[in-house]
Chains A and B, each alone.
Chain A
Amino acid sequence: MGTLFITVREALRYKGREGQWLWALHRISGLGILFYLIIHVYDMSLAYFNVPVHEEMIALFKTPLFSVLELALAALLIFHAVNGVRVAILDLRPEMWANQQKVTRISLIVTAILAAPTIVIMIIYTLNANFGPVASAVGR
Chain B
Amino acid sequence: MLRSRTVPRRGWNLEFVMWVFTRVSGAAMLILGALGMIGALIMGARTQMDLATLMRWTFFPNPNHVVNSNIPDINLGWVSLYWRILQTLIVFFGVSHGFNGLRVVMDDYIHHDAVRKVLRVVILVLWIAVMAVALYIIITS
Determine if B101 and A34 form an interchain contact, defined as CB atoms under 8 angstroms apart. yes
B92 at the interface (CB under 8 A from A): no
In the complex with contacts A3-B111, A31-B102, A88-B26, A48-B65 CB distance below 8 A: no
B18 at the interface (CB under 8 A from A): no
Specify which chain B residues have a CB less than 8 angstroms from the CB of A103 in the assembled complex: none
Query: What 0/1 pattern do residues 49 to 68 of B give for CB contact below 8 A with A?
Result: 00110000000000011011
Chain B's interface: helix, strand, loop or mixed, by majority?
helix
CA distance A27 to B137 in the complex (A): 29
B12 at the interface (CB under 8 A from A): no
User: Which of B36-44, B72-80, B126-134 faces chain A?
Assistant: B126-134
Give the number of chain A interface residues (Cβ < 8 Å).
25
CA distance A48 to B141 in the complex (A): 10
In the complex with contacts A30-B101, A33-B98, A41-B134 CB distance below 8 A: yes
Interface residues of B in 27-49 (CB under 8 A from A): 27, 29-30
Nearest A residue to B60 via CB reads A44
What residues make up the interface of B, taking CB atoms closer than 8 Å to A?
Answer: 1, 23, 26-27, 29-30, 51-52, 64-65, 67-68, 94-95, 98-99, 101-102, 105, 109, 111, 126, 130, 133-134, 136-137, 140
